[in-house]
Structure 1
Amino acid sequence: MSLDIPRPILKDKKALVCGVANEHSIAYGCAKAFHELGAQLALTYANDKTKTHTEPLARELEAPIYMPLDATRLDDMEAVFSRIEKEWGRLDILVHSIAWAPKEDLQGGLLDCSASGFGQAMDISCHSFVRLARLAAPLMKEGGTMFTMSYYGANKVVPNYNVMGPVKAALEACARYLAYELGQKQIRVHAISPGPLQTRAASGLKDFDLMLNEAARRAPLGELVDIMDVGYSCAFLATPLARRLSGETLYIDGGVNIMA
């Protein structure tokens, strides 16, 4: 059966992008790609500090909904979805690009990671996606697509990735189980695994520059990816062109993940 694809391809779609921190963040790449392709945006920011950097981006992307969202606060999440329901009545796309761990636990080895630090990393970086999905699903009345951001260190050991490796592995498993549970509602769920990108979150990793250089050296395509590569790939997955894809972990890394 042929598909009647509108131009621009995401025209009239409603997208919530959580985790925009600045113009270098993966979430911003997704939001910008969605906007270019016709979607209407709701953006969230973590706190007053990030608001300084993200408010101009919300204006640039003409986002009519721009709200605070602390991933540890259920009332923040409920307020965002309540406004989306009131103003839009539905949601088509959800992007979860939220990750955090205490610096001392992130920069130390897994053996030295505290129980509280591990729990915080798991709650904010992983279970927050489940919480967002629970609130988003009722608004995806005609189906939709959910995304969360992972990394190669979820499946292979990457030196200095430390506690985030197990956390991202759990996140990818959550994406698969949510894809199963939400499939009957025509909601598709994907974990996106970009190559290393120079984002604010990545700056907290020890020797991150070495990870960037190694990825560029090993990539079959010979270069690093950027945030727009991630954004356009997610945009494709949110269209009917990808209507039979769900539960995937999609690597956007120039082919690094296939190398031994």
Structure 2
Amino acid sequence: MPPALSGKRGLVIGIANEDSIAWACARACAEAGAAIGGTWQTDKARPHVEPLLERIGADIRLPLDVTDETQMQALFDALAARWGRLDFLVHSVAFAPKADLHGRLADSSCAGFLQAMDVSCHSFVRLAQRAEPLMRDGGSLVTMSYLGASEVVPRYNLMGPVKAALESAVRYLAAELGPSGIRVNAISPGPIRTRAASGLEDFDALVDDSVRRAPLRRPLSIDDVGPLCAFLAGDGARAITGQTLYVDGGYSILN
């Protein structure tokens, strides 16, 4: 039996280093047989990302700052020229200015809130728009959320409303793109020690609370997320769309 993603081609956005969730997703999809395209955000990040893409034999390796429309267009032009189609896209990108992230939502600046919304939410919408013409035979779009989208999580602050908007965007995109056979879902991991997560205040306390209270009683890792991402990219998830799927050891079922 061929690997689950044999013959499929997918783009993974948001790989920062070997500890990033996006890397686990790219690796799991490659191990399932997919051809992978990957990006790095800046020249500074490139030395950390390109060797990882080399390890999985990524067909396409290009820079992408999701706020740069020229780079985004160049990336999709390369996808169209090299592959002619796209079967799945993984968006694992989030950002908020430190001052706004560490302060109260009530005190957040308009500029900081808009930047967080643009990078963390609307970039997924823009990527979906560009991916749609390449998904002529259907496809899968996956993004990353967090429990703070639906519940108040201490110190998550303005990212809560931003992730709530992202989950809402998933539902609306799923409704709009579903008739074309394009599925749209969010994965909501529990607290995992990544460089991005380290920007949250008292993040270690979130991890400790998850290990102590979640039914599975163990720390989470990026490799808990990658296999679900690969599943959502494949035909086994052909009837799943518009959903937020939790990978959190069961923490989200607690009151």
Q: Which runs of 4+ in 1 moved over 6 A?
A: none
Please give the TM-score of this superposition, normalised by the length of structure 2.
Answer: 0.98
Offset, 1:227: 1.1
Supply the distance in 1 between the matched residues of 2:52 and 2:4 (Cα, whole angstroms): 22
Supply the distance in 1 between the matched residues of 2:37 and 2:71 (Cα, whole angstroms): 14
1:114 equivalent to 2:91? Answer no
Offset, 1:27: 0.3
**Cα deviations by residue, 1:118-153 (Å, 9 ceiling, x for unpaired):** 000000100000000000011011100000100000
Offset, 1:225: 2.2
- Alignment correspondent of 2:87: 92
Supply the distance in 2 between the matched residues of 1:76 and 1:165 (Cα, whole angstroms): 28
1:49 equivalent to 2:44? Answer yes
User: Quick one: percent identity of the two aligned structures?
Assistant: 56
Supply the distance in 1 between the matched residues of 2:60 and 2:235 (Cα, whole angstroms): 25
Aligned-partner SS, 1:183: helix
Aligned-partner SS, 2:152: coil
Which amino acid counterpart does residue 232 of structure 2 have in structure 1?
L
Listed as ranges, the matches of 1:50-65 within 5 Å are 50-65=45-60
Supply the distance in 1 between the matched residues of 2:53 and 2:235 (Cα, whole angstroms): 27
1:124 equivalent to 2:119? Answer yes
Contact persistence 1:195–1:224 (CA under 8 A): no
Which amino acid counterpart does residue 206 of structure 2 have in structure 1?
M
- Alignment correspondent of 1:32: 27
Number of residues of Structure 1 aligned to a counterpart in Structure 2: 255
- Alignment correspondent of 1:3: none
1:66 equivalent to 2:66? Answer no
Please give the TM-score of this superposition, normalised by the length of structure 1.
Answer: 0.97
Which amino acid counterpart does residue 187 of structure 1 have in structure 2?
I
1:190 equivalent to 2:182? Answer no
Listed as ranges, the matches of 1:167-206 within 5 Å are 167-206=162-201
Contact persistence 2:142–2:232 (CA under 8 A): no
1:163 is matched with which residue: 158, 161, 167?
158
Offset, 1:47: 0.2
**Cα deviations by residue, 1:8-51 (Å, 9 ceiling, x for unpaired):** 11011101000000011010010000011100000011001111
Supply the distance in 2 between the matched residues of 1:218 and 1:48 (Cα, whole angstroms): 41
